[in-house]
């Protein structure tokens, strides 16, 4: 099932000089996909995820989510889409400082939705945080915070999971574990788009792309190294 589709997406930043991280990017994402987008730092990977997450409006092209043109959405429709269908594993997404870990997860279950503490606890367990449920974010290590953000990103069963270098700051064990959990999510019908500056996870991908000069190239077939 198709979840979302980028067609000829163009994005400029105009802050003095014009930077064009996305010139003409097309990508179709289906449920079950685990798409890895590689590219060096500064090339536009995060920008791509911001557009896919409806946090940033492109300057050209079309972005369809479940066949609906997102550029026609009001702010509240976009907000509803994000809260209901998209899971963000971003480096700069923060936990709410005034809430404990469990409360952070329950909050992310969605406004107006029935809270499911058992599910929050189950996710905390999967991420090795069961004994930290009552801790506030400041009481956690950097790696624990990143794992907590990953747990929070999955709590509302998002159709699309956007992961921006999700293994940064994590040790070997938890890097492998995060990738395993993301693959598991794809296996259970979500779609995962993960961007990374290293090619380490290439073999995990169901589709491998490279962002280069504002264009997204499918390198699944040609991937030798």
Q: Which residues bind Mg ion (CB under 5 A)?
A: 46
Select from 160, 219, 171, 179 the least CA-distant residue to 33.
160
The size of the interface with ligand ADP (CB under 6 A), counted in residues, is: 12
How near is the Cβ of 46 to ligand ADP at its closest, in Å?
A: 3
**Residues in region 2-61 near ligand ADP by CB under 6 A:** 13, 15, 19, 21, 39, 41-47
By CB under 6 A, residue 102 contacts ligand ADP = no
How near is the Cβ of 201 to ligand ADP at its closest, in Å?
A: 16
By CB under 6 A, residue 167 contacts ligand ADP = no
Calpha distance 196→181 (Å, rounded): 17
Q: Which CB, 47 or 190, lies closer to ligand ADP?
A: 47
Residue with tokens 């809260």: 83
Return the structure tokens found at 64. 């369809």
Contacted entry of ligand ADP, Mg ion, none for residue 104, CB cut-off 5 to 8 Å set by kind: none
Radius of gyration of the chain (CA): 17
Contacted entry of Mg ion, ligand ADP, none for residue 42, CB cut-off 5 to 8 Å set by kind: ligand ADP
Contacted entry of ligand ADP, Mg ion, none for residue 39, CB cut-off 5 to 8 Å set by kind: ligand ADP
Calpha distance 106→108 (Å, rounded): 5
Q: Determine the residue with CB nearest Mg ion.
A: 46
What sign has the CA pseudo-torsion 51, 38, 201, 220?
positive
How near is the Cβ of 49 to Mg ion at its closest, in Å?
A: 8
Contacted entry of Mg ion, ligand ADP, none for residue 55, CB cut-off 5 to 8 Å set by kind: none
Q: Which CB, 41 or 221, lies closer to ligand ADP?
A: 41
Cβ neighbours around 77 below 10 Å, total:
13
Q: Which CB, 148 or 195, lies closer to Mg ion?
A: 195
Long-range pairs for 222-225: beta carbons < 8 A, 24 or more residues apart: 225/199
Return the structure tokens found at 185. 């999510």
Calpha distance 165→45 (Å, rounded): 10
How near is the Cβ of 17 to ligand ADP at its closest, in Å?
A: 9
For residues 48 and 22, is the Cβ–Cβ distance under 8 A? yes
Helix (H, G, I), strand (E, B) or coil at 192: strand
Residues that bind ligand ADP in the complex, under the rule CB under 6 A: 13, 15, 19, 21, 39, 41-47
């Amino acid at each position: 099932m198709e979840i979302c589709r980028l067609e000829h997406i163009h994005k400029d930043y105009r802050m003095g000089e014009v930077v064009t991280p996305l010139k003409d990017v097309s990508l179709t994402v289906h449920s079950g996909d685990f798409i890895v987008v590689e590219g060096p730092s500064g090339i536009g990977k995060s920008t791509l995820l911001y557009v896919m997450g409806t946090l940033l409006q492109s300057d050209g092209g079309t972005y369809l989510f479940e066949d609906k043109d997102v550029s026609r959405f009001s702010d509240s429709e976009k907000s509803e889409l994000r809260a209901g269908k998209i899971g963000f594993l971003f480096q700069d997404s923060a936990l709410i400082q005034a809430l404990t870990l469990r409360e952070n997860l329950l909050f992310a279950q969605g406004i107006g939705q029935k809270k499911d503490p058992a599910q929050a606890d189950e996710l905390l367990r999967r991420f090795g945080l069961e004994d930290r449920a009552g801790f506030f974010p400041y009481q956690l290590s950097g790696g624990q915070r990143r794992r907590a953000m990953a747990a929070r990103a999955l709590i509302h069963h998002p159709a699309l999971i956007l992961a921006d270098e999700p293994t940064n700051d994590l040790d070997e064990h938890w890097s492998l574990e995060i990738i395993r959990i993301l693959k598991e999510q794809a296996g259970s019908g979500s779609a995962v788009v993960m961007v990374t500056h290293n090619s380490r996870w290439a073999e995990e991908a169901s589709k491998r792309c490279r962002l280069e000069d504002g264009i997204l190239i499918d390198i699944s077939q040609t991937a030798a190294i």
